[in-house]
């Protein structure tokens, strides 16, 4: 765990430059706007350890799979988000000497992420070996208002000299992915153009043929007046720049405004991209930095109005939660149903930038609570569009008749994960996609979604479950063999309780939805019958048989559900009895030792109890929590939040807070020593859930918001807002009272600690 980020409610602050922390900071200080993003790397040259990462949403490369032993059914490739052409470079040479923080003496270094306004600010003083000293103040943002535009204001002041200098402003498409399986370069040349005042490069991805046009223009100013200098425009394959010759005058600030555009062929015709790019550059330059910035920060102001969580009495917690919200909001804006949320967002390459079940199980509730319902809907529509591929994917594995298996990892609907125990066995992801439909409809009341899209997906997933189980003559029950539950520290187990439960739940829910659609819109139901070739009677009969006769492992004596058939054969040891040097297990133990152990990577049975909480009494939840939590090592960042939610419900407030700390500052404090790879974006949604569903006790039952808040000992108050069915409801929890305020929309009935209350506009309801 590191502790170098200064605490501040709205800013992430790094003071002093420590090259050994640079990659961690580059992840933390990442910027994005839903369409593009980049790590918090430097504009000027840096010859030290860095991972220059720029990403364009939806642009990926199918990197040929590399595995030792091929198994039938493995996908041929792993789709990877591409490290994309970079537009941020501002390369400075003073009298031929490169400004490079690895070669200069650096002082007064500050890197600040201003979360309120969405900017990355950096300032430092750098002295060359010969004593020449410059002061730099840089501000950069990826416009939340104009999604294809980014801007930099770079102020350069020679502190103790006057000298000629060159400023090279470039677009560099000769970039590589660190995680390339065969050290291939993924970008090929298309065209480049450099003229005085602008440079544009279009590059194309190999195999997938995405075109990305990246351009830049700039303006130089000193004392509020334009600075002109001799300009040389250079272009070569995958590269274009302008080199401007200037004379730096001691004590006089030179301001460089650099504007970047990134266009993808997903949004523009390929043959017009250079032209449109040029036009957008011109518009950005004409608008200027201040106007672009004002529009950008206005979007952030509005976003924060809806989604901010305030915490009083604990600045570290306040900073942590805002950082999580900030990263989520700049990763996915919900405007485009072709896009999704990679576990690392725009902050790194790990996990290939692809879609996991994280989206449905963790991110969806965050966007439901903080954004217009269309945002969460788009996440569901994304999976609807992938339904034909999910059916194909299942067919490749031998399933039939329209059964769908959604991929564990995907970019375009095709599976691209290739470890058999996950690809073929971690099938619970399919259930999370069904559950997300339920969760969305329960929260928004948008039942129309079921008619338009939802039912088709549910039928296909139920079909998969009904084919995946088999009848056990020995048990006289249905079983599900050879699966991996959410706890990836057990593979190829039989009857993972969570997966069995999800399967049965999906088959029940699908039938409820089918009945409802049939009643509500018979014509639509007929359409769905014919599209899906749903043999209603026959298929439902089978589903109902499975529902009635499914086997769920449990230990009646202990009163707990069993994670899988063999769980009790394991030596049951508590995590607290492990030697500190054994942790984290995934780094210290062999894989087979992990698999044989009882230690749990992430919530598994507890994930099921979280999803289906209302089906269980509190004592069952308690017994299972008490049994599994002590064996859980939380080596997935998705784990602690589920524990916060259940612990809060059980009144285990200290445990809830302890778990909360693990999730809220996971990246800021580099808890797991892996933030250098990128931030844990999807688990950040879990932090939000920890406050809202955990401490705030928020649930939706019968179309109503319920709350059962408690106050962590270390805080004096906290508040959050929820977007709920055309209303905005704010909940403010103090030590002695909870205020619930209807900030906008029609009166609404809520349930606070079991009591119904009607909220009238702007009237605070106070519970003492
Ligand atoms: C977790 C998965 C998760 C993936 C991406 C893994 O470590 O075990 O549940 O989907 O990370 O976040």
CA of 490 to the centre of ligand 1 (A): 14
Contact call for residues 84 and 138 (beta carbons, < 8 A): no
Set 360, 414, 456, 488: catalytic member = 488
175-194 core/surface letters (b: 16 or more CB in 10 A; e: else): bebebbeeeeebbeebbbbb
Identify the pLDDT of residue 188: 95
703 is a domain residue: no
Tens digit of each residue's pLDDT (9 = 90 or more) over 67-124: 778 888 888 888 888 899 999 999 999 999 999 999 999 999 999 999 999 999 999 9
Distance CA 580, CA 16 (A): 31
Distance CA 625, CA 609 (A): 9
Tens digit of each residue's pLDDT (9 = 90 or more) over 556-574: 999 999 999 999 999 999 9
295 is a domain residue: yes
CA of 362 to the centre of ligand 1 (A): 11
Q: Which atom of ligand 1 is nearest to the CA of 358?
A: 10
Q: Which atom of ligand 1 is nearest to the CA of 488?
A: 8
Q: Is 472 exposed, middle or buried (0-12, 13-18, 19+ CB in 10 A)?
A: middle
Tens digit of each residue's pLDDT (9 = 90 or more) over 610-635: 999 999 999 999 999 999 999 999 99
Mean pLDDT of 294-304: 97
598 is a domain residue: no
632 in contact with ligand 1, CB cutoff 6 A: no
Mean pLDDT of 363-389: 98
Q: For residue 751, what pLDDT band results from cuts at 50, 70 and 90?
A: very high
Mean pLDDT of 448-461: 98
The full length of the chain comes to 768
Q: For residue 766, what pLDDT band results from cuts at 50, 70 and 90?
A: low
Specify the CATH number for the domain of residue 232. Answer: 2.70.98.40
Answer yes or no: is pLDDT of 593 > 60: yes
**Which of 348, 358, 415, 685 has most ligand 1 atoms within 8 Å of its beta carbon, as the pocket-test mutant?**
358
Q: Which atom of ligand 1 is nearest to the CA of 680?
A: 12
Q: Among 175, 173, 186, which Cα is nearest to 214's?
A: 173
Q: Which atom of ligand 1 is nearest to the CA of 343?
A: 12
Identify the pLDDT of residue 293: 98
Q: Is 526 exposed, middle or buried (0-12, 13-18, 19+ CB in 10 A)?
A: exposed
357 in contact with ligand 1, CB cutoff 6 A: yes
CA of 376 to the centre of ligand 1 (A): 21
682 in contact with ligand 1, CB cutoff 6 A: yes
Return mean pLDDT, the chain: 96
Q: Which atom of ligand 1 is nearest to the CA of 636?
A: 7
**Which of 340, 354, 356 has most ligand 1 atoms within 8 Å of its beta carbon, as the pocket-test mutant?**
356
Q: Could you tell me the end-to-end alpha-carbon distance of the chain, in angstroms, rounded to an integer? A: 39
User: Rounded to whole angstroms, what are the CA distances from 545 to 201, 477, 534?
Assistant: 60, 10, 17
Identify the pLDDT of residue 767: 62
**Cα 602 to chain center, whole Å?**
18
Residue nearest to atom 7 of ligand 1 (CA): 636
User: Nearest 5°: phi and psi at 306?
Assistant: -85, -35
Tens digit of each residue's pLDDT (9 = 90 or more) over 41-66: 999 999 999 999 999 999 998 888 87
Identify the pLDDT of residue 183: 79
Lowest mean pLDDT among 67-76, 198-207, 220-229, 529-538: 67-76
Name every residue whose Cβ is closer than 8 Å to that of residue 449 and which is 6 or more positions away in sequence.
377, 380, 437, 440, 441
**What does pTM read for this prediction?**
0.96
Sign of CA dihedral 69, 75, 77, 79: negative
167 is a domain residue: yes
Distance CA 289, CA 259 (A): 8
488 in contact with ligand 1, CB cutoff 6 A: yes
Q: Is 488 a catalytic residue?
A: yes
Mean pLDDT of 665-672: 92
407 in contact with ligand 1, CB cutoff 6 A: no
636 in contact with ligand 1, CB cutoff 6 A: yes
% of the chain surpassing 70 pLDDT: 99
% of the chain surpassing 90 pLDDT: 91
Tens digit of each residue's pLDDT (9 = 90 or more) over 243-263: 999 999 999 999 999 999 999
Identify the pLDDT of residue 465: 99
638 in contact with ligand 1, CB cutoff 6 A: yes
Residue found by looking up tokens 């896009």 in the block: 339
Mean pLDDT of 380-407: 97
Identify the pLDDT of residue 185: 86
Answer yes or no: is pLDDT of 768 > 60: no
330 is a domain residue: no
560 is a domain residue: no
- Which of left, alpha, beta for 673 (phi over 0: left; psi -120 to 50: alpha)? left
Structural domain including 245 reads: 31-307
Identify the pLDDT of residue 113: 98
413 is a domain residue: no
Domain count, the chain: 1
**Which of 355, 636, 678 has most ligand 1 atoms within 8 Å of its beta carbon, as the pocket-test mutant?**
636
355 in contact with ligand 1, CB cutoff 6 A: no
Answer yes or no: is pLDDT of 764 > 90: no
CA of 342 to the centre of ligand 1 (A): 11
Mean pLDDT of 413-423: 91
278 is a domain residue: yes
CA of 642 to the centre of ligand 1 (A): 14
């Amino acid at each position: 765990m590191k502790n170098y980020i200064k605490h501040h409610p709205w800013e992430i602050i790094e003071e002093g430059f420590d090259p050994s922390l640079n990659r961690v900071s580059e992840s933390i200080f990442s910027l994005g706007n839903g369409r593009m993003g980049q790590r918090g790397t430097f504009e000027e040259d840096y010859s030290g350890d860095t991972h220059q990462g720029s990403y364009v949403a939806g642009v990926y490369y199918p990197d040929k799979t590399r595995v030792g032993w091929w198994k039938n059914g493995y996908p041929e490739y792993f789709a990877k988000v591409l490290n994309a052409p970079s537009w941020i470079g501002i390369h400075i040479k003073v009298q031929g000497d490169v400004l490079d923080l690895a070669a200069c003496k650096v002082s007064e270094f500050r890197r600040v992420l201003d979360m309120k306004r969405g900017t990355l600010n950096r300032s430092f003083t750098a002295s060359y070996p010969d004593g020449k000293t410059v002061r730099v103040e840089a501000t950069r943002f990826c416009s939340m208002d104009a999604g294809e535009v980014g801007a930099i204001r770079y102020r350069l002041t020679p502190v103790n000299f006057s000298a000629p200098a060159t400023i090279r402003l470039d677009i560099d498409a000769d970039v590589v992915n660190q995680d390339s399986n065969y050290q291939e370069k993924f970008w090929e040349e298309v065209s480049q153009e450099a003229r005085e005042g602008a440079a544009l490069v279009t590059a194309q991805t190999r195999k997938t043929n995405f075109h990305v046009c990246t351009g830049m223009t700039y303006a130089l100013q000193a004392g509020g007046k334009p600075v002109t200098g001799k300009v040389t425009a250079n272009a070569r394959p995958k590269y274009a720049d302008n080199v401007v010759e200037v004379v730096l005058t001691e004590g006089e600030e030179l301001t460089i405004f650099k504007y970047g555009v990134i266009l993808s062929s997903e949004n523009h015709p390929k043959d017009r991209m250079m032209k449109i790019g040029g036009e957008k550059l011109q518009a950005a330059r004409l608008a200027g930095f201040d106007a672009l910035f004002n529009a950008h920060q206005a979007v952030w102001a509005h976003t924060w109005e809806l989604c901010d969580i305030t915490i009083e009495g604990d600045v570290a917690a306040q900073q942590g939660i805002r950082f999580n919200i900030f990263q989520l909001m700049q990763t996915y804006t919900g405007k485009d149903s072709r896009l999704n949320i990679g576990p690392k967002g725009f902050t790194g390459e790990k996990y290939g930038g692809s879609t996991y079940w994280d989206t449905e199980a963790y991110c969806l509730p965050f966007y439901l609570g903080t954004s217009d319902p269309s945002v969460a809907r788009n996440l569901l529509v994304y999976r609807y569009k992938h339904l034909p591929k999910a059916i194909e994917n299942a067919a490749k594995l031998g399933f039939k008749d329209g059964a769908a298996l959604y991929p564990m990892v995907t970019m375009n609907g095709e599976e691209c994960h290739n470890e058999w125990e996950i690809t073929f066995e971690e099938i619970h992801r399919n259930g999370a996609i069904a559950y997300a439909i339920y969760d969305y409809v329960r929260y928004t009341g948008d039942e129309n979604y079921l008619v338009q899209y939802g039912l088709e997906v549910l039928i296909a997933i139920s079909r998969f479950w009904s084919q995946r189980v088999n009848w056990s003559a020995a048990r006289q029950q249905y079983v599900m063999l050879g699966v991996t539950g959410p706890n990836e520290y057990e593979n190829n187990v039989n009857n993972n309780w969570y997966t069995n439960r999800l399967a049965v739940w999906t088959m029940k829910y699908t039938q409820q939805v089918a009945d409802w659609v049939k009643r509500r819109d018979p014509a639509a139901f007929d359409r769905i019958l014919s599209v899906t070739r749903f043999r209603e009677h026959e298929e439902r009969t089978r589903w109902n048989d499975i529902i009635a006769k499914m086997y769920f492992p449990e230990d009646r004596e202990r009163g707990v559900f069993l994670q899988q058939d063999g769980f009790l054969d394991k030596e049951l040891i508590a995590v607290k009895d492990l030697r500190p040097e054994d942790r984290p297990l995934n780094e210290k133990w062999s894989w087979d030792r992990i698999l044989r152990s009882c230690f749990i990577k992430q919530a598994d049975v507890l994930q099921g109890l979280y999803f289906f909480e209302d089906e269980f009494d509190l004592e069952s939840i308690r017994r299972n929590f008490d049994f599994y939590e002590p064996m859980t090592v939380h080596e997935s960042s998705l784990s602690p939040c589920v524990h916060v939610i259940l612990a809060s419900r059980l009144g285990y407030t200290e445990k809830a807070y302890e778990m909360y700390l693990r999730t809220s500052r996971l990246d800021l404090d580099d808890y797991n020593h892996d933030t250098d790879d990128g931030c844990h974006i999807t688990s950040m949604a879990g932090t939000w859930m920890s406050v809202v569903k955990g401490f705030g006790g928020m649930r939706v039952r019968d179309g109503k918001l319920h709350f059962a808040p408690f106050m962590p000992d270390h805080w004096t108050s906290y508040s959050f807002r929820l977007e709920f069915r055309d209303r905005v409801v704010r909940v403010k929890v103090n030590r002695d009272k909870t205020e619930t305020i209807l900030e906008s929309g029609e009166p609404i009935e809520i349930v606070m600690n079991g009591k119904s209350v009607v909220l009238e506009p702007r009237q605070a309801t106070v519970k003492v």
